[in-house]
Structure 1
Amino acid sequence: MLDSDLMAAAAAATGFMPEDEGRALAEAAFAAPDGPILEVGSYLGKSTLYLAAAARARGTKVVTVDHHRGSEEHQPGWDYHDPELVDPAVGLIDTLPGLRATIAAAGAEDVVVAVVARAEDFAALWGTPLAFLFLDGSHTDESAQRDLASWAPHLAVGGVLAIHDVFPDPADGGQAPYRIYRKALDSDAYTELTGQGSLRLLRRRS
C-alpha cells in the first residue's frame, strides 16, 4: 500500500505533475518488479515524492538524478522561468535547495537518494538493473533522446519505463517525450501498459 503521508505531500508540493498522473506513477512504481527505482529529472521533488511513496511501501529507495541547473524552459526568457530559483552567487538556476527542502519537509530523506549530475554521466557509472525508470528531464529532442539511450539499457527485463509529458498532438505540448515514447514502443522491446494523461508506461520484454 502506498505511503499515504508521502502521497499527500506529493500532491501539495510545487511542480508540474497532475495528481492523477502522480498517483498512476506511484502505483506503477509500487507494482514494478523488485529492484531500484530511478528518476531522471528531479526539479523541486514533486514526482520524487510520488515515487518515494512507492519506495517506502516496497522497502526500497528512489534515486533521483538531475544537474539542477534547470531545463531549457526554466531559463531566463522562457515560460517556466522562476527568478527565485536563480543562485545570485553564480547567476544560474539552482533547484537543488528546493529539492532538499521538499524531501526534508515530507520526511522522505530515508528513501530518496539525490544525485547531482548530468543523467548521461551518471548512467555511465550505474551498474544495477532497474525495476522502474522514470524519464522526465529536459524536453529538447537531443536531451530526451540522450536520456533514453543512456538509461534504457539499465532497465531489467520485466521492468517498467515511464515517460512524462507525452503529447501526440503538437498543439498540446512539446514533442520530444512523444518521440522517445514512440522510439521505445516501435523497437518491439516494450509492451504498453495503461497510463494516465500524459504519462506513458511501458514494460520491457526483451
Structure 2
Amino acid sequence: MSISLPVDIHSIKGFLAAHEGEALYHLAAEASGSGACLEVGSYCGKSTIYMATACKLMNGLLYAVDHHRGSEEHQRGEEYHDPDLYDEGARLMDSFRTFRRNIRAANLEDWVVPIVASSAVAARYWNTPLSLVFIDGGHSREAAITDYRCWARHIVPGGYLAIHDIFPDPNDGGQAPYEIYKLALASAQFELVEMVDTLGILRRV
C-alpha cells in the first residue's frame, strides 16, 4: 500500500522519523479495520496525520490523547523548547492550536478525536476496545509507565502496541520507553513484531 499524505509532512513539527511514520501508517491501515486506534502524545500532529490518513482510507477513527502542555524537555530552558509553541499570556507551553491547524489543513478532522487531557484523566472511565495504541508521550519513567498501564490493557487480542523512542543503550537516549517495552514483553501478553528505527511494534497475543 503506497502512502499519499494530504500535507507536506516535513513541514509539521515533530520528532518522528519518516520510516517510523510510514510504519505507523501501515499499522493503522491494518488495525483500523478491527476497531479504534489511539495515540498518546500528539504534539503538533505529525504522527496523527500518518495514522489518521490511514484511518480515513479504512473509514476508521483515531483518538489523539495529549494535554498539549509539553513534556519536561519542552519547557522553557529545556533542550527541546520551541518558543513558537509558548503561550506568553498563560505562561505555559501549548501545542493544541498548532495541532488543530495541522489536522484541519490535512482535512482529517472527521477521523481524529482530540482528547486534551493526561493519560490518567482520559483513561479513568475508558471502555472502548482499541486495535492499536501508539505511545509517544512524556519520557519520564513515571509518565511512560502511566501511559502503558492506562492504555495497554484496552488493546484487543491481535491488536498492536507501538512504542516510540526505544533505546536499549542509555548512551543513545532516555530509558523510559525501553522500560515499558520490556514490561510489555515480560507480561507475556505481547510479542515483538518488528523494530523500525526506534519504533517498537508489538502484537497482543
TM-score by length of 1: 0.95
What corresponds to 2:134 in structure 1? 134
Cα–Cα, structure 1 residues 11 and 27, in superposed 2: closer, same or farther, change >3 Å?
A: farther
What corresponds to 1:74 in structure 2? 74
CA distance in 1, matches of 2:40, 2:56: 19
Say if 1:132 and 1:162, in contact at 8 Å, map to a contact too.
yes
What corresponds to 1:13 in structure 2? 12
CA distance in 1, matches of 2:8, 2:155: 28
Q: Where in structure 1 do 4 or more consecutive aligned residues deviate above 6 Å? A: none
What corresponds to 1:23 in structure 2? 22
Matched, 1:125 2:125: yes
Unmatched segments (≥5 aa) in structure 1: none
Alignment deviations for residues 32-89 of structure 1 (CA, whole Å, 9 cap, x no partner): 2510010001100000001112101110111101111100000111100012211111
Displacement of 1:30? 1.3
Displacement of 1:109? 1.0
What does 1:45-84 align with in structure 2 at a 5 Å threshold? 45-84=45-84
Say if 1:24 and 1:195, in contact at 8 Å, map to a contact too.
no
CA distance in 2, matches of 1:141, 1:99: 25
CA distance in 2, matches of 1:138, 1:75: 12
Say if 1:52 and 1:111, in contact at 8 Å, map to a contact too.
yes
CA distance in 1, matches of 2:150, 2:125: 11
What corresponds to 2:150 in structure 1? 150
Say if 1:144 and 1:176, in contact at 8 Å, map to a contact too.
yes
Q: Specify the SS of the correspondent of 1:4.
A: coil
Say if 2:3 and 2:22, in contact at 8 Å, map to a contact too.
no
Say if 2:161 and 2:203, in contact at 8 Å, map to a contact too.
yes
Displacement of 1:20? 0.7
Instruction: Tell me the C-alpha RMSD between the 2 structures.
Output: 1.3
Displacement of 1:11? 4.2
TM-score by length of 2: 0.95
Aligned letter for 1:80? Answer: Y
Unmatched segments (≥5 aa) in structure 2: none
Aligned letter for 1:127? Answer: N
CA distance in 1, matches of 2:96, 2:2: 26
Cα–Cα, structure 1 residues 104 and 2, in superposed 2: closer, same or farther, change >3 Å?
A: farther
What corresponds to 1:175 in structure 2? 175
Aligned letter for 1:144? Answer: A
What corresponds to 2:35 in structure 1? 35
What corresponds to 1:44 in structure 2? 44
Cα–Cα, structure 1 residues 59 and 52, in superposed 2: closer, same or farther, change >3 Å?
A: same
User: What percent identity do the matched residue pairs reach?
Assistant: 47
What corresponds to 1:99 in structure 2? 99
Displacement of 1:110? 1.6
CA distance in 1, matches of 2:195, 2:57: 21
Matched, 1:115 2:115: yes
